[in-house]
Structure formats: C-alpha cells, structure tokens
Structure 1
Amino acid sequence: MTRGTPGERRALGLWTAAWLLVFLVVGLVWVGNWSLMWPVLLVPVAWGLVSLRRG
C-alpha cells in the first residue's frame, strides 16, 4: 500500500481538518453554547497546522 506523495498527504490532512471544522461548527450551532465550547474549534485548526507543517 502506498502512502502517497507529501502533497497528497497535506491535501488530505487539510481536507479532513476542514470537514471536522464544518461538523463542529454545525454541532455548536445546533446544540452548543458558543461562549463555553469555542475552544473545541482549536482542534481542527491545530490539525490543519500540523498537516501543513508535516506535509
């Protein structure tokens, strides 16, 4: 099984982080309390930064 090129891995990491952010925002709008739960949005941001860094 191939691991893909660094560009493909970076794109997959950013794609995953973007969808995670979308689902978390939808969940916060639907159920959550923004003032209390906003730090959870840092998870996909960190994920995206790691995928950019590691490439």
Structure 2
Amino acid sequence: MRATPGERRVLGLWTAGWLAVLLVGGLLWLGDLSLQWPVLLVPLVWALVAVRPRREP
C-alpha cells in the first residue's frame, strides 16, 4: 500500500522538525550557534520540499 500525498507531507514535516530539533541540540551542545546557524537551513529546505504541491499520477 502506497502512502497518500497527505501522509507523505506529514512524514516530511515530522522528519524536518526532528532534524531541526536534533541540529539545534547538537549546535548548543557541541558547536557555536551564532557561527553555524546556516546548518539550520537544511530542515527548512526539507520542510519546503515536503509542503510543495505535487501532481497526481
């Protein structure tokens, strides 16, 4: 059974959210947030890809 577009969207946003949380935690623990903040663009782009409109097959 294939996932519906809505389920794929939710999974993508959930993944992007957790990725952001883990990256912020890692930056606060090991890094310098003021210097390495561009890393947080990765989950932002991931979320934007997840919410983009898709064509139905």
Q: What TM-score does the superposition give when structure 1 sets the normalisation length?
A: 0.90
Name the structure 1 match of 2:23.
24
Name the structure 2 match of 1:34.
33
Structure 2 unaligned segments of length 5 or more: list them: none
Structure 1 unaligned segments of length 5 or more: list them: none
Greater fraction of residues in helix: 1
Q: What TM-score does the superposition give when structure 2 sets the normalisation length?
A: 0.87
Question: Following superposition, which runs of at least 4 residues in structure 1 exceed 2 angstroms of deviation?
Answer: none
Name the structure 2 match of 1:44.
43
Cα separation, 2, equivalents of 1:29 and 1:40: 12
* Percent identity between the two aligned chains: 65
Report the AA paired with residue 31 of structure 1.
L
Query: How many pairs are equivalent?
Result: 54
The alignment's C-alpha RMSD in Å is: 1.2
Cα separation, 2, equivalents of 1:49 and 1:35: 23
